Amino acid sequence: GGFTSRLSSTVLWFSSGDTKSVIHNDGQHNFHCIFSGRKDWILWQPSETINTRAFGWIRGEEEAKTNPKFKDTYGTYVGLIDTEDVDTNEFPGWDTLKWWKLNMEAGDCAYIPARWFHFVEAPRGRSLTVHVWFEAGGKFDQRSCDTMEAQGHNTSEYLLRISDCTWGHEPDKPKKTKCKVRKPAPKKVDEL
């Protein structure tokens, strides 16, 4: 469906756990897979107004100009609340938000749609995860599937691994991501 041409980047996350993210969102879609450890997510849909000052949203570089607490920060995220103890008197909107909890363990993968707000926490212990960011396509491209099937590929089976890709979309690499597709399996005698 043209998916590999929209792959943007991949990140390997590893730690000894006991980590937390800030509440933020990403502009791209994300497949997140866990090889070892556990991650607990809280997600909010993009239509929520979390990215406003009423929810503690900041622009790191701008906030740093007037608040020394944010001296080395960057990006946009919820930076004015304590995620362990949200002050709902100062930020009352947090009491009314609809949210989802996602618990992931080794072997789990999740699709996180673009622009969904999320907070991620990993308990103490080894954590090894990978995520792949990708751009949304305007529509599904059936032609690329037809071409692969004509070349003998079974598009119902996996055709590539993350390690089969050369990643583009880097500042010094203006080229697109390219992935080498594995060779079609030889046909069995009874299929001939």
As a residue count, the chain comes to 192
Report d(CA 42, CA 153) in Å as an integer. Answer: 38
| Nearest to 160, CA basis, from 185, 181, 145 | 181
In tens, the pLDDT along 74-119 reads 999 999 999 999 999 999 999 999 999 999 999 999 999 999 999 9
Helix or strand or coil: residue 55?
helix
| Nearest to 25, CA basis, from 53, 44, 52 | 44
Cβ neighbours around 127 below 10 Å, total:
21
Q: What is the pLDDT of residue 162?
A: 65
Per-residue DSSP letters for 82-151?
-TTS--TTTSGGGGT---EEEEEETT-EEEE-TT-EEEEEE-SS-EEEEEEEEPPPSS--HHHHHHHHHT
Between CA 77 and CA 84, with CA 81 as vertex, the angle to 5 degrees is: 110
pTM over 0.95: no
DSSP-derived pairing of the beta strands 19-20 and 76-78 = unpaired
Q: What is the pLDDT of residue 191?
A: 57
Residues of the chain scoring pLDDT < 70: 1-5, 162-163, 166-175, 177, 185, 187-192
Cβ neighbours around 122 below 10 Å, total:
22
